[in-house]
Structure 1
């Protein structure tokens, strides 16, 4: 991480929803852990919410401005309540012009990470992540953390979990996961999954492989992915977990009580044009702990599949 990134703030978006205030609580603690500033932002929304042909009274905009500033004041109070006697984080509030999604995407260019609640005001169902969280996961320039539930449910007490698929796509996620485990002085659980069936194997007569040998090979894939990281983070204990099964299901279940779950934006199985991989998408809507999605750059050859590996590794 260069000097600019080291000084970059944690940015959290608020809109008055319960999950956005939960995100503030988590983000404030995160900023303390990293010794950086916390920027709390809220977007004004479209200049003409009802469409360009609809004229709204001035009172609408006055009420909107008051609501936005009230949200920021409440969020700042929540953030400052997390201060300890030995650690006080600089808290900055700011109103962003324009709709929430493009405003937060622009803000992510200058963030250590950007944190949002899983769903904002006006969402039809609590079961799925809102459009802002989905857009940030697909397009943000920094890692994105999505918080589900209320404030009391967002601070895990377990280890940091990370999904590892054996490709270069895992490296940004591994880097972030080791750093997060290190600043928390907790353990790291690296989870690698594989399945016995994929379309690639169905078409090339490889379904009769010796699966016990494949298991050994998958253990080696995880070991190779983790090589060198423990040397850089000697104080972080690492647990290696290799599982035959669906990656999203296994990660969701095993990391339910985790401090944080970290995944890459794409996995081995994704198409180059996909904005976010299948595992990341499922976890975005279902993870029960704070979820960090770290984007990777597939345009530079990241995530190219090795031709000699038969089993299918579920993508992030």
Structure 2
């Protein structure tokens, strides 16, 4: 992989969920002129511990599965994005579980793409657990592709909450909206705090969105923007907007704050429940 034109990296495991991630990742790579790298991590994605009565599965079996999975994924990528040449698509089977494998590759990737469901916890591990962990630990944006038919129309929605990750999320959202020729909705969701009134929430939210979007409209004059402020928990507000969207972009406050993720961050809640692709932006990108 090269840092000059970093690739879109897709985690594959032979599941239908991973196939959806490959199709989405191939289209994303083609749209942005990026190479595509398909990776299969050998080893259990989850440490189940001893004493569960689950017989060990040899790495050789996983490696054979991995070779078959990345070859099939490569063919699927070529079918999905005709503009990607054979030289644009690379594959690898790495001797590491999926989570550390993808996290390490994120340092050289433009984006990591994963699905939400794998082949089962005791055979290959839940891809959903991989998506949550990689979104938390990666050093590049992470796209999580849900099950079901994906919408090809609708707006791109970006969550704005005043955190450091807003800038990275908004940059990604404008870029995606421009490539998709889609409307961009900047959404701020908040609930009352103390004596705060509805008017204060609306006013402060509108000011926050305006400040966060500053400068982007000049760089992306073709992108039509809409600003929405709602009185709602952030995750609920974003999930409501996701029902009509083709893509939602959210930021993480600090990927190293494990407690935030265990207790349920906005990004984690949206990943688990959205019915459209989610891109999780990392602060400082």
TM range (shorter): 0.7 to 0.9
Q: What does residue 77 of structure 1 align with? A: 75
Range with bigger deviation, 233-242 or 23-32: 233-242
Matched, 1:159 2:155: yes
SS at match of 2:80: coil
Residues of 2 paired with 1:226 and 1:131: CA distance? Answer: 33
Shift of 1:271: 11
Query: Do the aligned residues in 2 keep the contact of 1:123 with 1:130 (CA within 8 Å)?
Result: no
SS at match of 2:38: strand
Alignment of 1:101-116 (within 5 A): 101-116=99-114
Matched, 1:280 2:267: yes
Change (3 A) 1:6 1:245: farther
Change (3 A) 1:189 1:60: same
Range with bigger deviation, 22-31 or 73-82: 73-82
Query: Do the aligned residues in 2 keep the contact of 1:43 with 1:98 (CA within 8 Å)?
Result: yes
Q: What does residue 95 of structure 1 align with? A: 93
Shift of 1:96: 1.2
One of 249, 257, 260 as aligned partner of 2:236: 249
Shift of 1:275: 5.4
Shift of 1:66: 2.0
- Alignment RMSD (CA, Å): 2.9
Residues of 2 paired with 1:168 and 1:123: CA distance? Answer: 35
Runs of 5+ in structure 1 lacking a partner?
202-206, 298-316
How many residues end up aligned between the 2 structures?
272
Change (3 A) 1:273 1:147: closer
Matched, 1:226 2:213: yes
Residues of 2 paired with 1:235 and 1:31: CA distance? Answer: 21
Change (3 A) 1:243 1:50: closer
1:48-101, Cα deviation, whole Å (9 max, x unpaired): x9989xxx99x94443322111111111111010133xx224111111112111
One of 13, 20, 29 as aligned partner of 1:31: 29
Matched, 1:176 2:172: yes
One of 182, 187, 194 as aligned partner of 1:186: 182
Q: What does residue 132 of structure 1 align with? A: 130
SS at match of 1:45: coil
Runs of 5+ in structure 2 lacking a partner?
none
Query: Do the aligned residues in 1 keep the contact of 2:192 with 2:201 (CA within 8 Å)?
Result: no
Residues of 1 paired with 2:189 and 2:232: CA distance? Answer: 6
- Once superposed, which parts of structure 1, at least 4 consecutive aligned residues long, lie more than 6 Å away? 49-52, 270-273
Q: What does residue 290 of structure 1 align with? A: 277
Change (3 A) 1:243 1:99: same
Change (3 A) 1:286 1:210: closer
One of 114, 117, 123 as aligned partner of 2:115: 117
Q: What does residue 305 of structure 1 align with? A: none
TM-score normalized by structure 2? 0.86
TM-score normalized by structure 1? 0.78
Query: Do the aligned residues in 1 keep the contact of 2:12 with 2:69 (CA within 8 Å)?
Result: yes
Shift of 1:17: 1.3
